[in-house]
Amino acid sequence: MKFVCDTAKLSEICSNVQRAVSSKSSIPAIEGIYIEAGDGRLTLTGYDLEVGIISSMEARVEESGSIILNARILCDILRNLPFETVRLESDERFICRIRSGDAEFSLIGISPSEYPELPSVESGFPIVIDGELLKDMIRKTIFAAAESDVKVVHTGVRFEIGNKQIRLVAVDGFRLAIRNEMIDYEGEEKIFVAPKKALNEVVKLTDAEQTVSMNVGRRFIVFEIGNYHIVSRLLEGEFLNYQAAISGHTTASIRVNTRMLINSIERTSLIITDRAKSPIRCIFDNEMIRISSTTALGTANDKLPCTGSGNKMEIGFNNRYLLDALRVCDADEVEIRLGSPVLPILILPTEGEGFLFLVLPVRLRNE
């Protein structure tokens, strides 16, 4: 294998592909980047057996071939090369020489035959969606996906696509996030759960004004984003019946300015630390919300106006869970629906159905 290409471009692609490479594995090949040269292009692949990233670029290919090179070392070398172009040559023993200007390296590679085969997905009707819209929907739900769970399926985000609508749902046992949008899709209904790692890569690799094409199979999904393909295994298992969770009885409903509520919670959270943990105490009334916290460091009290109707209610919350939801609300004003001090609250837009966030309460100690 012999080729010459642009150093900066190769470095950029390798850095992106490296994020799908396994950092520690009993299989040395998946700690590397698979490089294939032929027909005037390079194809680079990183794959940890769960998520793969594939990209390609133009190059002056003098001899076709392929090799696996250690991802970390290759990326470090490319970032520090002095010249605008770089030459890579490998021999039959998979020794790869890298030259750029006066800098020269020799790396011991791995036979490409040891690289695992990536799954392919052929979808009769791929789902095409605006990239900025998908990024926004992922960002505003992925925070509620579980870090670890008895049910692995809850560590991902559920997609429901059909009837010209896309819905993303995430849940971690303490909170629930839902985003809804209309899209131009008339194919068959698709329901699947994608892991957070793959979705984080979709967010990182999607630029403004790009579209994302999703090809969904029974066990895998491929996201096509510009010059990148992200291949991911889908999560299997029975997802929470979230419809039952959001259909509880409402005894009070208030409207409040989103930014004012965020600021108030942030102020009363200043005395809450990792060592001094405590829930915030919220008293919801028809015209006022009173927020307070008490920890070993002291007390904090604040209040802000609201409008609404229903029973006065006192509820405790994990301040971070409440802030996570409010910070991704795309509305100047939100509606908060309450059932009882032991039931979760719902946070919704005052108009439309673009989002819904559910936050479970925390039991308060009587003072």
User: Does pLDDT of 263 surpass 80?
Assistant: yes
> Which residue matches tokens 């957070």?
196
- Prediction pTM value: 0.93
- Select from 214, 210, 251 the least CA-distant residue to 227: 210
Write out the H or E segment, with its range, that includes residue 16: helix 7-18
Q: What is the pLDDT of residue 121?
A: 82
User: Does pLDDT of 124 surpass 80?
Assistant: no
User: Does pLDDT of 171 surpass 80?
Assistant: yes
- Encoding tokens for residue 284? 């919801």
- Domains observed in the chain: 2-114 (3.10.150.10), 127-242 (3.10.150.10), 248-359 (3.10.150.10)
Mean pLDDT of the chain: 94
194-227 pLDDT, tens digit each = 999 999 999 999 987 899 999 999 999 999 999 9
Q: What is the pLDDT of residue 25?
A: 83
272-321 pLDDT, tens digit each = 998 888 999 999 998 999 999 999 999 999 999 999 999 899 999 999 99
Q: What is the pLDDT of residue 232?
A: 96
Q: How far apart are CA 265 and CA 281, in angstroms?
A: 10
Q: What is the pLDDT of residue 123?
A: 65
State which amino acid sits at residue 280.
I
